[in-house]
Amino acid sequence: MPAPPPARAWRRLDAPPGYAAQWRRLAEAALELGLGPDQLSETGLEPLTAARGWKPATVALYSKVARYGGVALPRVPTPEPDPPELDLRPLTQVRTQDPEHLRAVAWCAIALGWPAPVAAFRPLRRDQVRATTRRLLLSTDDGEWSVPGALTAWHAWEAVRSRFPALADSPWVLPALRRGPGLDSRIGGRLSNQALQATFTKHASRTAQHLRATAAPSRQAHAEELAAAYRELSYDSYRRLALAAGAPPVAARGVVRAARAVNRGHRLVG
């Protein structure tokens, strides 16, 4: 039997649940070229991509939608995003002797070289961190890690916490600075994941304010751009940026993500 006209052939197929809009746009793009579902299975999405100028992520989406709707197309992997770039150094610079500031600066400085998730920093103990003349050395159950560039922040944090007995006696790298609402909360105790996330968000916001207030007139536009990025920055994004910049991954999952980001960056440079 001859194939039905392209428009009728598309109407015979139902849009996959949750993808009605994408299915409609796919069909419209195919009909512009006179292609029905069967013809699209033979040609693939290359003619539509050339005609519409679709980006790789769009091609991956529509190939998935087509398969969900019963059109046989090869699987197209979703492309990895380009490694994002953002200057993170201001978050690691000591500006005041405020304990809250120095705790956050030490955390950010360590995380640039040891981009562990929040859940790994929460139980990190001071006896797992050793300062040499050039860098910090971290020992965990996953191995040993060398962290350059964090000595200044680490020594500043250790010096200020030594002035407060509860902080000086605390075994945690990132201890609580005040009591919270919980019955077990105490100064020097372990912070929750939520508290650490809030700590980073506050530090990024305050750093953004500092950049805007202290930038020279010739650097004001750059400072505004950086401050806007910091106001939206989360710790998870911070560690992903550190991984994309070449910091060694901390866990197996991080190895995969970091390798993807770095390899993608090398392909772009090439």
Look up tokens 């197996």; give the residue.
Answer: 252
- Domain extent for 129: 89-262
Look up tokens 């772009």; give the residue.
Answer: 268
In sequence order, the 6+-apart residues with CB closer than 8 A to the CB of 201 are 233, 234, 235
What secondary structure letter does DSSP report for 82? P
3-state secondary structure of 125: strand
Residue 137 domain-assigned? yes
Residue 67 in contact with residue 34, Cβ under 8 Å?
Answer: no
Residues 139 and 129: their CA atoms lie apart, in Å, by: 7
Residues 258 and 244: their CA atoms lie apart, in Å, by: 6
Q: What is the mean pLDDT of the chain?
A: 86
Residue 84 domain-assigned? no
Residue 140 in contact with residue 128, Cβ under 8 Å?
Answer: yes
Tell me, yes or no, whether 35 and 153 share the same domain: no
What are 102's two structure tokens? Answer: 């120095």
| Domain tally, the chain | 2
Burial of 75 (0-12, 13-18, 19+ CB in 10 A): exposed
Is residue 262 pLDDT above 60, yes or no?
Answer: no
What are 108's two structure tokens? Answer: 């950010």
Q: What are phi and psi of 129, to 5 degrees?
A: -115, 125
Residue 102 domain-assigned? yes
Residue 41 in contact with residue 72, Cβ under 8 Å?
Answer: yes
Chain segment 157-206, per-residue pLDDT in tens: 999 999 999 999 999 999 999 887 766 778 999 988 888 999 999 999 99
**C-alpha dist (Å) from residue 260 to 60, 174, 263, 265:** 17, 30, 5, 9
Residue 81 domain-assigned? no
Tell me, yes or no, whether 42 and 93 share the same domain: no
Residues 5 and 30: their CA atoms lie apart, in Å, by: 12
Residue 187 in contact with residue 171, Cβ under 8 Å?
Answer: no
What are 259's two structure tokens? Answer: 């390798």
Could you tell me the pTM of the whole model?
0.63
| pLDDT reported for residue 58 | 83
Taking only Cα atoms into account, the Rg of the chain, rounded to an integer number of angstroms, comes to 26
Single residue among 39, 68, 97 that ends a domain in this structure: 68
Chain segment 86-109, per-residue pLDDT in tens: 899 999 999 999 999 999 999 999
Q: Mean of the pLDDT values across residues 239-266? A: 61
Residues 37 and 242: their CA atoms lie apart, in Å, by: 45
Tell me, yes or no, whether 18 and 126 share the same domain: no
| pLDDT reported for residue 252 | 45
Chain segment 40-71, per-residue pLDDT in tens: 999 999 999 999 888 887 888 889 899 999 99
| pLDDT reported for residue 253 | 40
Tell me, yes or no, whether 181 and 97 share the same domain: yes
Q: How far is CA 68 from the centre of its chain?
A: 30
Residue 198 in contact with residue 191, Cβ under 8 Å?
Answer: no
Residue 99 in contact with residue 177, Cβ under 8 Å?
Answer: yes
Residues 77 and 97: their CA atoms lie apart, in Å, by: 49
Tell me, yes or no, whether 56 and 167 share the same domain: no
| pLDDT reported for residue 269 | 33
Query: Of all helices (H) and strands (E), which one includes residue 147?
Result: strand 143-148
